[in-house]
Amino acid sequence: MKLARDTWLVFGRYFGLFIRNPAWVAIGVLQPVIYLVLFAPLLKSISSVQGFPPGGAYNVFVPGLLVQLGMFGAAGVGFSLIAELRAGVIERLRVTPVSRVALLLGRALRDMFSIVVQSLILILLSLPFGLSIHPIGVVITLGLIALIGLLTASIAYAVALWARDENTYAPIIFTSTLPILLLSGVLLPLGLAPQWLRNIAALNPLSYAVDAARAVFRDHITNPSVAKGVAVMLVLTIIAIAIGARSFGRAVA
Amino acid sequence: MQDTIVQDVIETRGLRRVFKSRNRSVEAVAGVDLNVHPGEIFGFLGPNGAGKTTTLRMLATLLPPSGGSATVAGCNLLTQPDRIRERIGYVGQAGGSDREITGRSELVFQGRLYGKSVAGAKKRAAELITMLELESCADRKAGTYSGGQKRRLDIGLGLVHDPQLLFLDEPTTGLDPQSRARVWDEVRRMHDRGTTVFLTTHYLDEADALCDRIAIIDYGKIVAEGTPEELKRAVAGDVVTLTVAGEPQRALDVLKDQVFVREAKLDEGSVLLYVDRGEVAMPAILRLLDGAGLTLVTIGLHRPSLDDVFLRQTGRSLRETAA
């Protein structure tokens, strides 16, 4: 099938570029690790406060960190695309018969792969701090984070193709990801939030992903919030891929 | 005899492109009719912003037209862009190779995108590396290439699938004279193999030296089309360029209404006269300037160049608009 072949080719190209600079994996993991070491200990003392979910500070905090990693890790991928636009690479690819969906998907899958690797590293690093998780939970969580990565990367590429310039792209991406993340309760659970903040957060699709990840980390894999979170992310990811692929297909004037 | 069955490689009718920004729209290409014949090198000449690249990008399926119709490589531009993509090559101004990837890998990857097997793509890459004399740098990252090497790699990327039509957007802009001559040689070799080449340039000498036919575009419209010879012949027989001490405007006024002067213009302080026969006009010019009390500083006579064609057609010199 042409789409699968093209996606594999495009993935291969960007995976090759990625593997040549594995330092980016370490840099990507560094920020969540800093949170883990310098911020998570603060949570220990407030984990008994009313509104804080059960399960222990790390089992509450690490799922949030992973969601954050999934989103922040993929939000910046547009920078490399803008550099490629400038070098004429995208135009050169667009003039070949290669599938437009593959142009997006091949890259976004590479980003997804990098995020899954980083997430796995973060989970492993959290174990000595007192995180406990069932292996099946790890698999479900990585699947969820992979979807968040794919979703965010697809949107980030669409924004980059529209913006075509770092100075337009950066503010859009960073001013939109931060409120989305905070309103999903990644740092502190929204159980602690006042009602008006909770009402806004309920509209944020990412909060379903965070709820799902936290349920998994409490070993409540059968909890309906898990299926709900995965389903919401799956639907949004498919929409985002369609938007991203359309951006690659459309002319960049 | 013209074989009527042979179809033009490019045929456009009323091709338009409007760019809309917040509160105004700019018609970058304002109704272009073009015919490019099989096997020719067709030059698209015009100053920056004239609509050259926009037209090229439309024909290469990168930008949908706002209006008009076109057939490219036997396929309808509006309904069959996928089939056009299989038959054309395109080398943009920026090139298109990645600094971090070796030339050979880029050529193999490009071949794979056109459906070649790994072995087939490698074989084609090796052929192109030999053909474009990239042996010394093929296995280095493209970021280390000289300007000429990079441009040859970019051209190679456009030739991977042996297209019947190749688009080159300002192929020699920014190159040193030697690299420029190499690119010209490559274009001529493609021509010898029967590839149709459509190139844009704002260098008149390039269009003159390389192209079988030329279209001049200005403000989104074709202002002249033909072989370089035809275009030059359309300008009057000879061009006389002269400068006087001070007052070039007065010299122009004295000369412009003479019967032997077809057209007269001021260009960067010089007076340009298009005349039928320069050797007859020169003595008359000298007498007239003398009679008006103007001191002649320099005077020259030359055959019209494409620069004169451009100046004549657009009222501006290509040199000043390109600068």
pLDDT band at A253 (very low <50, low <70, confident <90, very high): very low
DSSP secondary structure, B20-56, as one string? E-SS-EEEEEEEEEEEE-TT-EEEEE--TTSSHHHHH
- Chain A nearest C-alpha distance from B190 (Å): 20
Query: What's the topology of domain B10-229?
Result: Rossmann fold (3.40.50)
| Identity of residue B16 | R
Mean pLDDT of A113-139: 90
Determine the pLDDT at residue B213. Answer: 95
Determine the pLDDT at residue B238. Answer: 85
> What stretches in chain B show pLDDT beneath 50?
1-3, 322-323
Q: Which of B63, B98, B100 sits opposite A253 (nearest CB)?
A: B63
- Rounded to whole angstroms, the Cα distance separating B45 from B33 reads 15
Q: Which residue of B has its CA nearest to A248?
A: B62
pLDDT digits (tens, 9 = 90+) for A41-96: 888 777 777 777 777 788 888 999 999 999 988 999 999 999 999 999 999 999 99
Determine the pLDDT at residue B185. Answer: 92
On chain B, the residues whose CB falls within 8 A of the CB of A251 are 57, 62-64
Return the closest-CA partner of residue A64 out of A149, A146, A184: A184
DSSP secondary structure, A179-237, as one string? HHHHTTTSSS-GGGS-HHHHHHHHT-HHHHHHHHHHHHHTT-TTSHHHHHHHHHHHHHH
- Rounded to whole angstroms, the Cα distance separating A12 from A6 reads 10
B101 secondary structure, DSSP code? S
Helix (H) or strand (E) holding B249: helix B248-256
Place of tokens 């490629």: A84
Give Dmax over CA atoms of chain A in angstroms.
Answer: 59
Return the closest-CA partner of residue B122 out of B137, B136, B134, B110: B110
pLDDT digits (tens, 9 = 90+) for A191-239: 888 899 888 888 899 999 999 999 999 888 888 999 999 999 999 999 9
Determine the pLDDT at residue A252. Answer: 57
Rounded (to 5) percent helix, strand, coil in chain B: 40, 30, 35
- Chain A nearest C-alpha distance from B118 (Å): 11
Q: Which of B86, B89, B98 sits opposite A89 (nearest CB)?
A: B98
Return the closest-CA partner of residue A163 out of A78, A38, A228: A78
pLDDT digits (tens, 9 = 90+) for B132-156: 999 999 999 999 999 999 999 999 9
B9 secondary structure, DSSP code? S
Rg (CA), chain A: 19
Determine the pLDDT at residue A147. Answer: 97
Q: Per the structure block, which two tokens stand in for A216?
A: 């998994």
Determine the pLDDT at residue B235. Answer: 72
Cβ–Cβ gap A17/B100 under 8 Å:
yes
On chain A, the residues whose CB falls within 8 A of the CB of B97 are 87, 89, 92
Beta-strand relationship, B88-91 and B75-76: unpaired
Beta-strand relationship, B213-218 and B238-244: unpaired
- Rounded to whole angstroms, the Cα distance separating A116 from A66 reads 10
Q: Which residue of B has its CA nearest to A11?
A: B109
For chain A, give the mean pLDDT. 90
- Same-fold call for B10-229 versus B236-303: no
**Helix locations, B24-146, DSSP H:** 52-59, 81-87, 103-113, 118-131
Phi/psi for B303 (5° steps) reads -70, 145
Determine the pLDDT at residue B196. Answer: 96
pLDDT digits (tens, 9 = 90+) for A157-179: 999 999 999 999 999 998 999 88
DSSP secondary structure, A51-109, as one string? TPPSS-HHHHHHHHHHHHHHHHHHHTTHHHHHHHHHTTHHHHHHTSS--HHHHHHHHHH
Determine the pLDDT at residue A95. Answer: 94
Query: CB-side exposure of A28: number of CA atoms within 13 Å?
Result: 30
Determine the pLDDT at residue B322. Answer: 47
Determine the pLDDT at residue A10. Answer: 96
ipTM of model = 0.89
CA trace torsion A99, A103, A105, A106 (10° rounding): 110
- Chain B nearest C-alpha distance from A88 (Å): 4
Helix (H) or strand (E) holding B76: strand B75-76
- Rounded to whole angstroms, the Cα distance separating A234 from A198 reads 23
The span from the first CA to the last CA of chain B, in angstroms, equals 43
On chain B, the residues whose CB falls within 8 A of the CB of A9 are 109, 112-113
Q: Domain residue spans in chain B?
A: 10-229, 236-303
- CATH 1.10.150.120 holds for B236-303: no
- Rounded to whole angstroms, the Cα distance separating A99 from A113 reads 21
CA-CA distances (angstroms) from residue A48 to A54, A56, A57? 8, 9, 9
Cβ–Cβ gap A17/B93 under 8 Å:
no
